[in-house]
Amino acid sequence: MTVTAARPSAPPSPQPIVRASPGAAVSGAATVLVGAAGVALGVAAITRPLAALRVGWLLPLAGVSFEVTGTAGLFMVVTGAVAVAAGCYSVGYFRHAKTAMATLSVLPLFVLTMIGVLAASSVTTLLVMWELMALVSLVAVLSDHHHAAVRDAGRWYAGMTQFGFLAILIGLVVLVHSGGSESLSVLAARAGAAPSSTRDAVFVLTFIGFGAKAGLVPLHVWLPRAHPAAPSPVSAVMSAAMVAVGIYGVVRVDLQILGPGPRWWAMVVLAAGALSALYGVLQASVATDLKRLLAYSTTENMGVVAMGLGAGMLLADYGHPVVADVAVTAALLQVVAHAAFKSLAFLAAGSVVAATGQRDLDHLGGLAKAMPVTTICFAVGALGASGLPLGAGFVSEWLLLQSLIHSQPGSGTLLAVVMPIAVGVVALTTGVGVAAMVKAFGVGFLARPRSPGAALASESAPSMLVGMTMAAAACAVLALAPAVVAPALRSVLSATPQAVGVASPHFGVLLRLPGIAGSLSPLLLAAAAVVATLAVAGATAVAGRSRRAQCRAVALWTCGGGPLSERMEYTATSFAEPLQRVFDGVLRPDVDVEVTHVGASRYLVEGVRYRSVIVDAVEVRLYRPLLGAFETWAGWVRRAHSGSVHLYVAYGAVALAVVLAVAR
Amino acid sequence: MSGPGVVGTVAQVAAVAAGAPALVGAMRQVRARLEGRAGAGALQPYRDLRKLLGKQQLVPEGTTVIFAAAPAAIAGTTLVIASIVPLATLASPMDQAGDLFAVVGLLLLGTVALILAGLDTGTPFGGMGASREATIAALVEPTILLAVFALSVPAKSSNLAVIVANTVRHPGQVLSPAGALAFAALVVVIVAETGRLPVDNPATHLELTMVHEAMVLEYSGPKLAVVEWGAAMRLAVLLGVLANLFVPEGIAGTHAGVAGTLLGIAAITAKIAVAGGLLAAGEVFVAKIRLFRVPELLAGSFLLGVLAVTASYFLGTRPA
């Protein structure tokens, strides 16, 4: 098969679309406006306290009340900035007339409800906004509902998000009952007086609920389904901003309102984070669907964030407030950095999907020449996601490692056991994460096209490129000058009980940590690396130039097997095969080898069929039995509904008797 | 930022850049003599580099700027590392800009550049080498971090100059169980990171066993010269760091003059030469292990790293 052979799955001929569709333009503009308003509100809240807003008539009984705190301000800036980039991008992405009106209208609403969650100052408002956010995002996920896979993803997402909502609802109702008020600020003042069993129950319930939204293992199962299913601007907003709203919930309720709590809370958060980071990164390293890979990477990153929060809680409990502060700073910076690089990666992935009609890395490749801007943008995002120097994710990871290694000997057996393990987890996560991102970029964009769709790709619409460039610029700023977010981080820390009155890390050209002999200058490092690389490249070009003839293009070495074809290339699956073998016990791939023999001889082989599917082990081992049990139980209930009116009357009589007996 | 520090840093970067090929040549010579061969002499790598630099630049079809830039990136990141780590002087002005985690990150950045170059060619060899190198790099990183974490516990800092200065003040500290375990773990990861036996054989071109050589198969002429020079520098820097973490004798302090800096250069040259000689002599006695046994070796060294950290925590709590 030649590379240029036409195939029905190839995208429509790359006709230049001169004018955006009006619906997409309006929707994109509205999203950008809402996002910009969010950024402005967030910045205002960080710089000075804002007045509260109460609308009594809007919601019966409780009313709606908003007040943007400094903590919410940071997350609001993140959400708003992601929305601006995604909104701009969506104008080009949704330019085809077939995009449904529902999809177009929910994108700005989705951003608006997230801002509503962040601004909520009472429990009722928070819950209503949370549920609205869940519903609106569900509509967005179901944009392509005519595909069975998308409907399946929607069901999983709906189930998990409602489960999470239920946990938060019960937890917060218990909290309101014990605090006697539904204002979050009043609750924060009174939560310390609540009995410890109540606080424990509220902590567990809210951590489950917010953790499900943040995609922590084992509640992550909706992420790898919903992200690939949703349109790319929606995936970007969900993965970069909505999971961050889950983290906001953990910070606001579990750290600020309930905290500081007993030691086991910290261990739960740390353990959930470590599990998510490792499991997410391992799944990402073997995933071949580009957006599924990014979704697992989100689980990994939120795991790292939770590790930072957990380590901060633990260190504060052991009386190391300064180091604890570094850990929480690391977690918050990771949220900001993740929003930048993950929205960029999802937008670039969407640009690839729009141009090639392919999400499978095994069928991509060779995009660097056809789509240079998208390629550069994805490279910037992948560099950030891999946590390497010069990338957006490096500084937060460095802070986290610093906080983990600076719990001094003698502070307790638990710390001495937990911290080395945590360092090992973070280090292994980075190592495997690099392999995953190298795979996504190297296989997806370099080499040669592995399918006709990839061969015919062309660069995306200008508005999409502008959206991606904005996110890339944010990545560059965070990588080189993280000092810009320092005031926002301080505003969160100043509202966290365990961190009050503690010197926080000093951001400047040189990042210094208070009381810790450790410093880093991302700007200097990047400058030195770039200068050294250019110097080497220049010196090589100069050395021996007089004797050298012009560059000459030559054919590649293919072991004498003729011209290189796409069948000879390494694919994402083969690239990840050694890693898959190493982590066989965790990933448990479903491998099938089928050998057909010629005639009677078992020494001659006619054909070999090899099939390898990697399923989510958590889904298979935890959710399938759970769903099975649920179905059995539902079957029993169904058996009681026989359709006989007499039986129903009997049920009514029994129920009435029970009520009378209880209420007597 | 002190004057002697800047002079010392420039001197150590220049020494690494100029001396790295000699290290590779000397190691080959040691192996050759122990195997009963005459050997090409310790200066052969310089002759190879001169030859390669004089050749015409060939551009494999279909490769992008990544393939063209990767050699410079690996050499450039190694030069930056050489300016950060305390090899000849403790007073490097770059030491503040990056600590141990930054050094490991820069090492990995160079590796990633070469992996992407291997994938960029699109040939089966490039992909194979890239895939294997990525797997090894993913497993090496945790061990390096844990091993030097163990060494950073007594010094209370992850900046390499602080750790080495602490060892200068308390030479007995590295002789602890934690130090010994960390040393063993570091030796294994340096062997893996620089592609030496038994993880990778730098002298092989057999497709079943190649890792590094498979990735760089498409390079030729001047670009190949830079790749080889960069690999030699990485070996020299890592051996130098290993030597100074455990035997920091002779390193120039913060107030050393020109003589002190020269002494520092001489000391680190001698230490790297001895370490390289020992590594080469050790290689004569081992065979390359199967690729899929490498993770077991690295897992073992990871465990050593965990033990080292735990030992430094628990043994560090005792009053001295």
What does the pLDDT look like over A395-425, one tens digit per residue? Answer: 999 999 988 888 766 667 788 888 888 988 9
- Pair of tokens at residue A439: 């795979």
Bond before A218 cis per omega within 30 degrees? yes
Q: Is residue A106 part of a domain?
A: no
The neighbouring-strand residues paired with A611 are: A592
Work out the pLDDT band at A380, boundaries 50, 70, 90. Answer: very high
Question: With an 8 Å Cβ cutoff, are B97 and A447 in contact?
Answer: no
A575 and A623 belong to one structural domain: no
Q: Is residue A334 part of a domain?
A: yes
Question: With an 8 Å Cβ cutoff, are A434 and B134 in contact?
Answer: yes
Q: Is A539 exposed, middle or buried (0-12, 13-18, 19+ CB in 10 A)?
A: middle
Residues in chain A: 664
Cβ neighbours of residue A625 closer than 8 Å, sequence gap 6 or more: none
Q: Is residue A350 part of a domain?
A: yes
Mean pLDDT estimate for chain B: 86
What's the confidence (pLDDT) of residue A516?
A: 73
Residues 187-226 of B with CB under 8 A from A: 217-218, 222-223, 225-226
Nearest chain B CA: its distance from A581 CA (Å): 8
Cβ neighbours of residue B97 closer than 8 Å, sequence gap 6 or more: A510, A519, A520, A521, A524, A525, A528, B84
Domain boundaries, position A420? 285-523+564-582
Question: With an 8 Å Cβ cutoff, are A420 and B310 in contact?
Answer: yes
Residues 8-47 of B with CB under 8 A from A: none
Q: Is residue A371 part of a domain?
A: yes
A633 and A568 belong to one structural domain: no
A574 and A623 belong to one structural domain: no
A502 and A638 belong to one structural domain: no
What's the confidence (pLDDT) of residue A409?
A: 62
Residues 579-608 of A with CB under 8 A from B: 579, 581-582
DSSP H helices in A48-147: 70-93, 101-119, 123-141
- In this model, does residue A596 exceed pLDDT 60? yes
A488 and A625 belong to one structural domain: no
Which helix H or strand E contains A592, and what residues bound it? Answer: strand A590-597
User: How many domains in chain A?
Assistant: 2
Q: Which of A512, A524, A548, A556 to substitute to test the interface with B, most B CBs within 10 Å? A: A556
Q: What is the DSSP string of B98-135?
A: --HHHHHHHHHHHHHHHHHHHHHH--HHHHHHHHHHHH
Q: Is residue A332 part of a domain?
A: yes
Nearest one of A204, A83, A230 to A142, comparing CA atoms = A230
Nearest chain A CA: its distance from B228 CA (Å): 13
A624 and A517 belong to one structural domain: no
**pLDDT tens figures, B172-190:** 777 788 888 888 888 888 8
What's the Cα-to-Cα distance from A364 to each of A290, A358, A441, B87, B244, rounded to whole Å?
10, 7, 10, 45, 46
Taking the C-alpha atoms of residue A262 and residue A196, their distance in angstroms, rounded to an integer, is: 9
The neighbouring-strand residues paired with B59 are: A553
Of B61, B112, B156, the CB nearest to A555: B61
**pLDDT tens figures, A498-508:** 766 666 777 77
A633 and A578 belong to one structural domain: no
Work out the pLDDT band at A7, boundaries 50, 70, 90. Answer: very low
Q: Look at the block and give the residue holding tokens 């660069």.
A: A459
Nearest one of A528, A406, A344, A338 to B102, comparing CA atoms = A528
Question: Of A14-18, A489-493, A566-570, B228-232, which range is least confident?
Answer: A14-18
Q: Is the Cβ–Cβ distance between A387 and A303 less than 8 Å?
A: no
Question: Of A436-450, A527-541, A586-600, B69-83, which range is least confident?
Answer: A586-600
What's the confidence (pLDDT) of residue A501?
A: 65
Taking the C-alpha atoms of residue B19 and residue B12, their distance in angstroms, rounded to an integer, is: 10
A574 and A643 belong to one structural domain: no
DSSP three-state, residue B234:
helix
Q: Does A542 touch chain B (CB under 8 A)?
A: no
A577 and A644 belong to one structural domain: no
Bond before A260 cis per omega within 30 degrees? yes
Angle between helices B65-84 and A522-542 (to 10 degrees): 120
Question: With an 8 Å Cβ cutoff, are B112 and A424 in contact?
Answer: no
Chain B residues within 8 A of A390 when measuring between CB atoms: 109
Question: With an 8 Å Cβ cutoff, are A518 and B99 in contact?
Answer: yes
Q: Is residue A549 part of a domain?
A: no
Taking the C-alpha atoms of residue A294 and residue A619, their distance in angstroms, rounded to an integer, is: 18
Of B60, B131, B144, the CB nearest to A578: B131
A570 and A627 belong to one structural domain: no
- The values of phi and psi at residue A478, to 5°, are -65, -30
What's the confidence (pLDDT) of residue A52?
A: 79
Nearest one of B5, B8, B50 to B25, comparing CA atoms = B50
The neighbouring-strand residues paired with A120 are: A66
Mean pLDDT score, B57-84 = 90
What's the Cα-to-Cα distance from B154 to each of A284, B184, B292, B317, rounded to whole Å?
36, 18, 36, 10
- Pair of tokens at residue A514: 């208070």
Q: How many CB atoms lie within 10 A of CB B267?
A: 20
A340 and A430 belong to one structural domain: yes
What's the confidence (pLDDT) of residue A322?
A: 84
Strand A552-554 relative to strand B58-60: parallel, antiparallel, unpaired? parallel
Mean pLDDT score, A543-549 = 61
A50 DSSP 8-state letter: P
Of B116, B162, B222, the CB nearest to A446: B116
Q: Is residue A639 part of a domain?
A: yes
What's the confidence (pLDDT) of residue B281?
A: 92
What's the confidence (pLDDT) of residue A547?
A: 56
Nearest one of A304, A364, A325, A270 to A3, comparing CA atoms = A364
Chain A residues within 8 A of B138 when measuring between CB atoms: 285, 428, 431-432, 434-435, 579
Of residues A277 and A190, more confidently modeled: A277
First to last CA, chain B: 34
Q: Is the Cβ–Cβ distance between A135 and A154 less than 8 Å?
A: no
First to last CA, chain A: 82
Question: With an 8 Å Cβ cutoff, are B135 and A438 in contact?
Answer: no
Q: What is the DSSP string of A65-82?
A: EE---HHHHHHHHHHHHH
pTM of the model: 0.91
Question: With an 8 Å Cβ cutoff, are A536 and B72 in contact?
Answer: yes
A347 and A402 belong to one structural domain: yes
Q: Is residue A593 part of a domain?
A: no
Q: Look at the block and give the residue holding tokens 């599917």.
A: A613
Taking the C-alpha atoms of residue A58 and residue B200, their distance in angstroms, rounded to an integer, is: 69
Q: Is the Cβ–Cβ distance between A31 and A112 less than 8 Å?
A: no
Nearest one of B215, B30, B200 to B116, comparing CA atoms = B215
Of A431, A554, A581, the CB nearest to B58: A554
Question: Of A209-213, B75-79, B249-253, which range is least confident?
Answer: B249-253
Taking the C-alpha atoms of residue B198 and residue B204, their distance in angstroms, rounded to an integer, is: 12
Chain B residues within 8 A of A394 when measuring between CB atoms: 105
